[in-house]
């Protein structure tokens, strides 16, 4: 197994800056900073370095994905509301061809119909939905496993 340090970008979409205050019965009590800190600790144990970025703006998220190509081996993304609307984010993920995992705190398939469709799902390697903050950790685990397997093949 390659023990090379993996560099992974974690992207958070709109309104996730309000985690902890925003509909806590759906999204839980942890703030985004707390979720990032937990992920950071876990990643360190796994030999991965994470960089975090949150934006409420679709264009900024697209820019970040485009720039990720040269600096990162993979992406974890919670595109939040843009999951259900954004062809632009989907196209950016498809364009950079970086292994990407989609995560959601809530189970989007148990909620309103408009949340059942993800524009990202066809262009990501996998999706984790419904485990609260643990969705991020599970998604990251899946991505790290995928990248290590890929490195073995090289």
Site string for ligand DQA, 47-86 (x = CB under 6 A): -------------------------------x-xx-x---
Alpha carbon of 59 to those of 13, 69, 86: distances in Å? 11, 16, 10
Active-site residue, from 12, 27, 82, 136: 27
Long-range contacts of 16-25 (CB under 8 A, 24+ apart): 16/54, 16/78, 16/80, 17/54, 17/56, 19/105
Is 109 marked active-site?
Answer: no
100 in contact with ligand DQA (CB under 6 A) = no
* Min CB(105)–ligand DQA separation in Å: 4
Spatial strand order of the sheet with 48-54 comes to 48-54, 6-12, 74-78, 100-104, 126-129
By CB under 6 A, the residues from 17 to 36 that bind ligand DQA are none
151 in contact with ligand DQA (CB under 6 A) = no
Active-site residue, from 82, 104, 119, 136: 104
Alpha carbon of 73 to those of 20, 48, 146, 147: distances in Å? 30, 10, 11, 8
* Min CB(15)–ligand DQA separation in Å: 5
106 in contact with ligand DQA (CB under 6 A) = yes
**Whole-angstrom distance, CA of residue 95 vs CA of residue 137:** 25
* Min CB(96)–ligand DQA separation in Å: 21
List the catalytic residues.
27, 104
For ligand DQA, the binding residues (CB under 6 A) are 15, 78, 80-81, 83, 104-106, 108, 115
């Amino acid at each position: 197994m390659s023990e090379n340090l993996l560099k992974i970008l974690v992207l958070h979409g709109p309104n996730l800056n309000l985690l902890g205050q925003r509909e806590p019965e759906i999204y839980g009590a942890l703030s985004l900073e707390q979720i990032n800190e937990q992920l950071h600790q876990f990643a360190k144990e796994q030999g991965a370095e994470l960089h975090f970025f949150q934006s409420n703006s679709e264009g900024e998220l697209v820019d970040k994905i485009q720039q990720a190509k040269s600096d990162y081996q993979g992406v974890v993304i919670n595109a939040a509301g843009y999951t259900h609307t954004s062809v632009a984010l989907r196209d950016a993920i498809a364009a950079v061809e970086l292994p990407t995992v989609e995560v959601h705190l809530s189970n989007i398939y148990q909620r309103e119909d408009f949340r059942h469709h993800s524009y990202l799902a066809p262009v990501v390697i996998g999706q984790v939905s419904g485990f609260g903050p643990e969705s991020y950790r599970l998604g990251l685990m899946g991505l790290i496993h995928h990248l290590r397997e890929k490195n073995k093949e090289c």
